Structure 1
């Protein structure tokens, strides 16, 4: 018996089956086909390969929804987690959980 896929965002098991993939009942994330742990090479703004647990520094001011100010250039983010999608980095910044594109950070 094959293991049931888990949500790539919140890692909860037993997603709902949709007509073209899966949908997480907990967070609402939708993805196509089987969830895969193979992310390929995710590179920062300088071309360095990133890995889970790396520390990175923001290279561009980033605007965020909700809290004024966003994320300033030079903000160091510790212990990143790589995820699939167009925003490859999942990290906690100033107490907020955010998804960030790898092109806006450099390896610290």
Structure 2
């Protein structure tokens, strides 16, 4: 969305994301706290409530501003 992400930020998912290999879906509006930026295909490592540890692409999240 244009905001610079940093380690420890809180982000919100902006699109329903189907988790590969399962029938689970991360819904729009899910808040993810304490992200960690990593190099590679999926540039965010995080723990999503109800789903556990996953990697997200930054194009599918929006930074929560305070």
Which interval holds the TM-score relative to the shorter structure? 0.7 to 0.9
4+ residue runs over 2 A deviation: 65-69
1:103 and 2:32 are equivalent in the alignment: no
Aligned residues: 63
Give the TM-score normalised by the residue count of structure 2. 0.87
Corresponding residue of 2:10 = 55
1:60-99 mapped onto 2 (5 Å cutoff):
60-93=15-48, 94-99=50-55
Give the TM-score normalised by the residue count of structure 1. 0.55
Q: Which runs of 5+ in 2 are unaligned?
A: none
Higher share in strand? 2
Select the structure of larger CA radius of gyration: 1
Q: Structure 1 residue 70: deviation in Å? A: 1.3
Q: Which runs of 5+ in 1 are unaligned?
A: 1-45
